[in-house]
């Protein structure tokens, strides 16, 4: 007899699905089966009934367990039988959290309808939870129609907060990179151990903290010209228990006090010109940074960088000692920055 299994949906930054699929294959005990992307930013998979979702996944925003309800519309979830089942599912989800949730939220297309309002009120009252001001809270579920077939799906988040919200971040810093994107950047630059890894324009050190998580023997150097960013980077690294791993350098990344030809891997998450910097600053910064990265890089170095200034970046690269190996556009809260993977023009492949 086939073992019982449950279906899950992982939410991912659109454009990074392949990283999540790779990580799910690698990390999940006994490997989940039938991993498939269902639409941009969403991947579904199954786990045996006695397995739980690995909350140390680095490339996903959140994972939801999918429950199918044979109801024609959300209003029917208020009927006694379905409502009792829904409460049972939610109580079980809440029990699996490390501490009891205090808040909850329900999202659905047509979220503002009277029926959704009633469902939220009835559920929160029955569970003794506050409805969260942000619409999500700790115990969070989404209602959706299945892509095929009848009924409705209730997708219940398997964690009290998104997995992508890292504990090492004491507070939100404008411009700090989504940690799942930082993790994906470190997976592009897969190399043998004991590499010299440089993060130019390192900000709060998200990329190197994520890098340190999978590469314990690399030498990591963060360079930023903002004292506050370096201070917060140090603080985050300490909270992540990586402070001994990351050397923080307060310096201009276009003239870094580092030896030529020293870096195996270079990362840069450049100012987009929205939260941080301006387009005019970037016009000067991008070519200068590519030039300096070219000086610092070993002949076969890999340079992974993220930028929202696509045209400026294309111009700067074509005038530099770097060439593009791949480009991936991602969807970051409605912005569409691109991940560039560069190798030196002179590199032998």
Ligand X SMILES: C[S@@+](CC[C@H](N)C(=O)[O-])C[C@H]1O[C@@H](n2cnc3c(N)ncnc32)[C@H](O)[C@@H]1O
Interacting residues with ligand X (CB under 6 A):
175-177, 201, 203-204, 206-207, 223-226, 229, 252-254, 269, 271, 276-277, 285
Give the C-alpha separation, 301 to 294, whole Å.
9
Please state the closest distance from residue 249 (CB atom) to ligand X, in A.
Answer: 9
What are the CA-CA distances from residue 54 to residues 29, 32, 59, 214 (Å)?
A: 8, 11, 12, 16
Q: In the complex, what is the shortest distance from the CB of residue 287 to ligand X, in angstroms, rounded to a whole number?
A: 12
Closest CB to ligand X among 43 and 312? Answer: 312
**Residue 47 or 176: which CB sits closer to ligand X?**
176
Least Å distance, CB 176 to ligand X, is 4
Q: Which is nearer to ligand X, 158 or 206 (by Cβ)? A: 206
Minimum Å distance from CB 140 to ligand X? 25
**In angstroms, what is the minimal distance from the CB of 256 to ligand X?**
8
CA angle 86/88/94 to nearest 5° reads 105
CB of 225 to ligand X, least distance (A): 4
Alpha-carbon span 15 to 329, nearest angstrom: 6
Q: What are phi and psi of 88, to 5 degrees?
A: -60, -45
> Which residues pair with residue 248 across a beta bridge?
222
Distance between CA atoms of residues 7 and 23, nearest Å: 17
Query: What gap in Å lies between CA 312 and CA 136, rounded to an integer?
Result: 38
Q: Which is nearer to ligand X, 104 or 229 (CB)?
A: 229
Cα separation of 56 and 164, whole Å? Answer: 9
CB of 262 to ligand X, least distance (A): 17
Residues 6 or more apart whose CB falls under 8 angstroms from that of 79 comprise 71
Residue nearer to ligand X on the CB measure, 60 or 198: 198
Q: Which is nearer to ligand X, 57 or 201 (CB)?
A: 201
Min dist CB 64 to ligand X, Å, is: 26
Minimal CB distance residue for ligand X: 203
Strand 5-11 with 62-69, pairing: antiparallel
Q: Which is nearer to ligand X, 155 or 276 (CB)?
A: 276
Nearer to ligand X, 173 or 196 (CB): 173
38 phi-psi bin (left φ>0, alpha ψ -120 to 50, beta other): alpha
What's the token pair of residue 35?
Answer: 């991993």
Q: Which of 295, 292, 297, 305 is nearest to 255 (CA)?
A: 292
The two tokens of residue 344 are 């030196």
The b-or-e profile of 170-187 (16+ CB within 10 A means b, else e) is eeebebbbbbbbbbbbbb
């Amino acid at each position: 007899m086939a073992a019982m299994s449950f279906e899950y949906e992982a939410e991912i930054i659109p454009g990074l699905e392949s990283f999540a699929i790779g990580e799910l294959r690698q990390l999940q005990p006994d490997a989940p089966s039938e991993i498939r992307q269902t639409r941009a930013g969403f991947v579904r998979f199954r786990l045996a009934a006695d397995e739980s979702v690995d909350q140390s996944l680095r490339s996903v925003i959140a994972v939801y367990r999918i429950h199918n309800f044979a109801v024609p519309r959300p209003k029917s979830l208020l009927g006694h039988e379905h409502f009792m089942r829904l409460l049972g599912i939610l109580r079980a989800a809440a029990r699996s959290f490390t501490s009891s949730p205090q808040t909850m939220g329900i999202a659905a297309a047509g979220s503002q309808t009277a029926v959704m309002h009633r469902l939220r009120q009835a559920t929160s009252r029955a569970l003794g939870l506050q409805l969260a001001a942000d619409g999500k809270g700790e115990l969070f579920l989404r209602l959706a129609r299945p892509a095929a077939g009848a009924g409705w799906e209730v997708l219940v988040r398997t964690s009290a907060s998104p997995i992508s919200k890292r504990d090492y971040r004491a507070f939100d810093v404008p411009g700090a990179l989504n940690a799942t994107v930082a993790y994906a950047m470190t997976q592009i630059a897969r190399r043998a151990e004991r590499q010299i890894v440089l993060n130019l324009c390192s900000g709060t050190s998200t990329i190197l903290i994520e890098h340190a998580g999978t590469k314990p023997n690399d030498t990591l150097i963060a360079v930023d010209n903002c004292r506050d960013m370096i201070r917060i980077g140090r603080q985050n690294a300490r909270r992540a228990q990586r402070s001994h791993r990351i050397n923080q350098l307060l310096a201009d990344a276009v003239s870094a006090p580092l030896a030529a030809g020293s870096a195996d891997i270079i990362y840069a998450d450049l100012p987009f010109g929205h939260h941080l910097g301006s387009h005019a600053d970037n016009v000067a910064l991008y070519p200068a940074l590519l030039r300096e990265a070219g000086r610092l890089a070993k002949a076969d170095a890999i340079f992974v960088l993220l930028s929202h200034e696509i045209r400026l970046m294309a111009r700067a690269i074509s005038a530099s000692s770097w060439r593009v190996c791949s480009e991936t556009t991602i969807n970051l809260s409605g912005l569409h920055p691109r991940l560039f993977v560069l190798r030196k023009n002179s590199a032998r492949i």
